[in-house]
Amino acid sequence: MIKAIVSGIGFGLVLTFITGPVFFALIKTSIEKGFHAGVSLALGVVCSDVVFVGAILFGSQYIDVSDHTKVIAGVVGSAILFALGLYYMFKKSEINYENKVPSGADRFGYVLKGFLMCIFNPTLLFHWTVVIGAASTTFLVGTPHRSFHIAVMFLTILIIQFGMDTLKAFYANKLRARISVKFIHRLNEVAGIALIIASLVLIDKLVTHFVFAAPAGS
């Protein structure tokens, strides 16, 4: 069990420091809307991670998804990421200097935003596939209580990620009083560009292949 926890801490720290659209969105939301909004967004991210892990561990045993369906899902996901990127780039900037606690509806909205931003980003699915592959080699078939150890490892990863995201939100929130609306606008643009680049990379990997070669066997 100690090995599972240590492995989970290691993977959790690595995943939480992978800079991407979600990282910028979390920092931006925490600065612009406050700590509670940032934590709500982080909760949505964790919920999407739970769905990814469950789908990979259990869904593959019962559902055979064709390559064509995967491409369609990826194209839809990239379109959503692209639309989110445009939204951030042209979004009006404001800062909640009073750090008001969001209402229940607003809190749910931030959770939903974090969930959708991740669930439609197949790059995160790739990350979790790699982690699950690592877990399978760490705890080989035949290892006593193998399923329990893998479950502990993934629970540790999720706890570490949520804890680190909460820490990011806390320190980003502390910077709010020193940050101008103009800076937030620039941060919105960076987050938007990151989302747009992620969507274009995904489309190229799936369809156009101008930069990334098609997967072997496709």
Instruction: List, as one string, the DSSP characters of 97-128.
Output: TT-PPPPHHHHHHHHHHHHHHHHT-HHHHHHH
What pLDDT digit, counting tens, does each position of 22-55 carry? 777 788 788 878 888 889 999 998 998 888 877 7
* Identity at 62, one-letter amino acid code: Y
Q: Which tokens go with 144?
A: 């006593």
What pLDDT digit, counting tens, does each position of 75-100 carry? 777 787 788 778 778 877 666 666 66
More confident of the two residues 209 and 35: 35
| Whole-angstrom distance, CA of residue 194 vs CA of residue 190 | 6
| Whole-angstrom distance, CA of residue 55 vs CA of residue 1 | 24
Quick one: CA torsion of 75, 81, 85, 88, rounded to 10 degrees? 150
Q: Could you identify the residue written with the tokens 């979004």?
A: 91
Under 8 Å between Cβ of 161 and 41: no
